[in-house]
Amino acid sequence: MTAELLDVGAVATHAGVPVSTLHVWEKAGLIAPVGRNGLRRQYAPDVLSRIAIIVLSQRCGFTLAEVGELLQNSSGPEREAQLRQKLAELTERRAQLDTAILTIEHTLRCPHPVQAECPTFLELLDEILPGGPVGASSSL
């Protein structure tokens, strides 16, 4: 049976992460070794699928705590609520990134030598603060 087990170094290499990352995931309860070979942790081969899920979840913006919840709630309303919440967060983040990209693109091609004199830039500033247009701040 030990021939089937994967050494911690082999798991780290296959997963493309440092051994220290595996230790962090282990401390968080996301993965668990099934034994030891001397001082080196040994994992069942199916740990690689679990690691792929962890990596994908992190790329989707989930924290380690949230990944743990996802792994515990493999189905049901809690999982759906968690996924919907992350989707809303990512959608908001995408909107912020789109605005940032448009702002930088405009700034690069703007004919105004001073940004504060550009009507388009001033419109963007007016949308930034929840209290209203920047020009209204002089009445505070």
> 53, 72, 91: which is the final residue of a domain?
72
For 6-31, letters b (16+ CB in 10 Å) and e give bebeebbeebebeeeebeebeeeebb
Co-location of 44 and 62 in the same domain: yes
Position 136 in a domain? no
Co-location of 15 and 68 in the same domain: yes
Q: 86-112: per-residue pLDDT in tens?
A: 999 999 999 999 989 998 999 899 999
Eight-state DSSP code of residue 76: S
Q: 43-78: per-residue pLDDT in tens?
A: 999 999 999 999 999 999 999 999 999 998 878 898
Higher pLDDT, 119 or 140: 119
138 has a pLDDT exceeding 60: no
Decide: 31 and 51 in contact? Cβ < 8 Å: yes
- Predicted TM-score of the model (pTM): 0.74
The domain of 118 spans 77-131
User: Helices 8-15 & 19-27, crossing angle to 10 degrees?
Assistant: 100
Residue 98 to residue 102: CA distance in whole angstroms: 6
Q: Which helix (H) or strand (E) holds 105?
A: helix 77-109
